[in-house]
A and B are shown apart, each in its own frame.
Chain A
Amino acid sequence: MATPIVMVGRNVGAFANTVLRTSSVLLNVDVCGIKGRHVIFSQECRLQRPAAFHTACVLRTAPAITVTDEPDMLYQRIEVQVKGHDKTVLDSYEFFATVAAKELGIDIGKVYEPPKNIERLTLLKSVHIFKKHRVQYEMRTHYRCIELSRITGSTAQVYLEYIQRNLPEGVAMEITKAAIERVPEHIQNPMWDGIPNKDKASQ
């Protein structure tokens, strides 16, 4: 390719600000655990209630979107796997995730349902004796997989944070990211361009 490919990253420091304003569920959530730079927003949002979110996306102050020169990460594939005990909840979540991806312009690769896993236990029914009388329990884990392809680091950060904040209770998520990078400069040429033995002797 003749044209050089330049990636530009976006500072998503103001992202949490917007998200917190747009969904009031986060009023009482402690965001300290997620990322360092979001700590300050947990106090801000308690003071400013997002009363007028639904009328229009009018934010109190203009979001400070800073465009940095730091090159953006590139992800060739991001696989989001959710697991839970209720299949209908996962169905709804899949609908939400796919609609959100389409709205943000992310290519959706494959959306499929790996087979469920049932773990069964057979325990004694009584505290003492009665070995012939048992009780059986089972735990069903349903899975759902959404594969996204060719997504930039900023978009991935935005999308994944949005998805994770709206993850329902009782559902766990596992994300596999495959980032692609250039060959670093120090690997492009061998450092012993001269005679290898001489370099070794000098070291």
Chain B
Amino acid sequence: MAASSMRTTVLSFGRSNGHCLGNYAFSLLGIRAPYSTALSTNNAKGFPDRASRMPRRARREPGEARTEKMADNQDWTAVYPAAAVFKPSAVPLPVRMGYPVKRGVPPQKNGNLELMKIPNFLHLTPAAIKKHCEALKPFCTEWPAGLDSDAACEKHFPIKVENKEFVSAGTSLRNPKARVVTLTVKLSSLNLDEHARKKMVKLVGDRYCKETDTLTIITDCCPVRQQNYDYTMYLLTVLYHESWKTEAWEAEKTREDMEEYHWEGSTSQKNVLDTLLRMRAASEGEEDPGAVREELLGQPTVQEYKDSVTRLKNEGETEEGMLQYREAVKKLLNI
């Protein structure tokens, strides 16, 4: 309160005298003006100490804008060699950006914050891109000419390894999804025999897709992507070699464990034999059961019936399958 009252008295004193006291009055009263007041002379900054020590630099007028001196055939890559803020004096385009005021147009480019905020691609004109690529060309390699189709790639390089990489700005460079590795391979491209293939399918379970015959292994248990890749290759190796092994307990495989339907030894075969035997017995007398069985099974009608039943069981019920079954049954029972 006291200081403010003193300040007002000083001000009135200055005005009444008709000339400014300058900083002397303030240094006398021990008041520091935080901003320029009526008493200060050419002290734009308002710091009394600095003005007495440093002479004030004369303000330079901005020169001619670079846009005036630009030629039509200049090299633009010299003006913007790298990513930089939009400089209205360096870009010769009459660009306007911003929300127009009432009955107006968007503001001009000079002093336009919107143009400065947005990332510009002035340093990546086609000419600049061509120059960059010319410099980068020696480090590129050609794709092998023999692998120009997906089928050729699949044939020679059956294993496919997928991973992701992330680029973003944030407090951390890491992204936990970057360490996931997915390995895809078709079982037909591996050296497996029938038993090994069936065992492999049983070992992997859900990871095998029957329609596309692909095995997919996804790992993210290790913290580093290289480790995850090594682990997938290790899993593939172990699965491969284990599936070639035949354990003692595999001999106990029952009909329920089988992947496909086999007609030999099934109830369908038994039923067919029974039916045919009864048909035979109605017309003829007793014969050797073993020979009769072989003879009955060898008939073409029985073979057709076997094919149709196997097809229905393995592929599911389709129009063609049902028709084939119908025909086979009709022939078998002489309808």
Q: Which residues of A, 1-45, contact B by the 8 Å Cβ criterion?
A: 1, 3, 5, 7-10, 12, 14-15, 18-19, 22-26, 33
1/0 per residue B136-169: CB within 8 Å of A?
1111111110111010110011111111111111
Chain A residue nearest to B245 (CB atoms) is A196
Stretch at the interface among A118-126, A128-136, A171-179: A171-179
Is B132 a contact of A100 with CB atoms below 8 Å? yes
B135 at the interface (CB under 8 A from A): yes
Among B119, B139, B173, the residue within 8 A (CB) of A65 is B139
Which residues of the other chain, B, contact A177 by a CB distance below 8 angstroms?
162-165
Q: Which residues of B (142-201) have their CB < 8 Å from a CB of A?
A: 142-144, 146-148, 150, 152-153, 156-169, 173, 185, 189-191, 196
Contacts of B77 in A (CB 8 A): 53-54
Contacting residue for A100 out of B133, B161, B248, CB 8 A: B133
Are A162's CB and B136's CB within 8 A?
Answer: yes
A8 B141 Cβ-Cβ under 8 A: yes
A189 in the interface (beta carbon within 8 A): yes
Residues in A with CB closer than 8 Å to B72 are none
Taking CB atoms, residues of chain A closer than 8 Å to B135 are 18-19, 22, 57, 59
B130 on interface, CB distance cutoff 8 Å: yes
Pairwise interchain contact B168-A173, C-beta atoms closer than 8 A: yes
Residues on the B chain within 8 Å of A8, using CB:
141
Interface size on A, residues (CB 8 A): 79
A60 within 8 A of B: no
Q: A22-B132, A164-B167, A173-B166 are in contact. Are A3 and B146 (CB under 8 A)?
A: yes
Of B130, B143, B164, the residue contacting A176 (CB under 8 A) is B164
Judge whether A172 and B159 touch: CB under 8 Å.
Answer: no
Interface segment among B202-210, B235-243, B277-285, B310-318: the answer is: B235-243
Shortest CB distance B180–A (Å): 11
User: On chain B, which size bracket covers the interface?
Assistant: 35 or more
Q: Which residues of B contact A174 (CB under 8 A)?
A: 164-167
Residue interface mask A132-168, B partner, CB < 8 A = 1: 0000000000000000001111110011001010111
A96 on interface, CB distance cutoff 8 Å: yes
> When the two chains form their complex, are residues B160 and A180 in contact, meaning their CB atoms are under 8 A apart?
yes
Contact, CB under 8 Å: B240 / A7: no
Q: How far is the CA of A179 from the CA of B5 in the complex (A)?
A: 81
Pick the interface stretch among B54-62, B78-86, B261-269.
B78-86
Docked complex Cα distance between A23 and B77 (Å): 10
Chain A residues with CB under 8 Å of B34's CB are none
Cβ of A184: which chain B residues have Cβ within 8 Å of it? 233, 237
The interface stretch among B6-14, B88-96, B121-129 is B121-129
In the complex, chain B residues 84-128 whose Cβ is within 8 Å of any chain A Cβ = 118-119, 121, 123-124, 126
Q: Which residue of B lies closest to A101 (CB)?
A: B133
| A179 in contact with B161 (CB, 8 Å) | yes
The 14 listed contacts between A and B (C-beta, < 8 Å) are A10-B141, A50-B81, A99-B126, A100-B129, A103-B133, A150-B147, A162-B132, A168-B119, A169-B119, A172-B166, A177-B163, A179-B162, A183-B159, A190-B241
Q: Which 3 A-B pairs have the closest CB atoms?
A: A168-B119, A190-B244, A103-B133
Q: What residues of chain B have their CB less than 8 Å away from a CB belonging to chain A? A: 75, 77-78, 81-83, 118-119, 121, 123-124, 126, 129-144, 146-148, 150, 152-153, 156-169, 173, 185, 189-191, 196, 233, 236-237, 240-241, 244-248
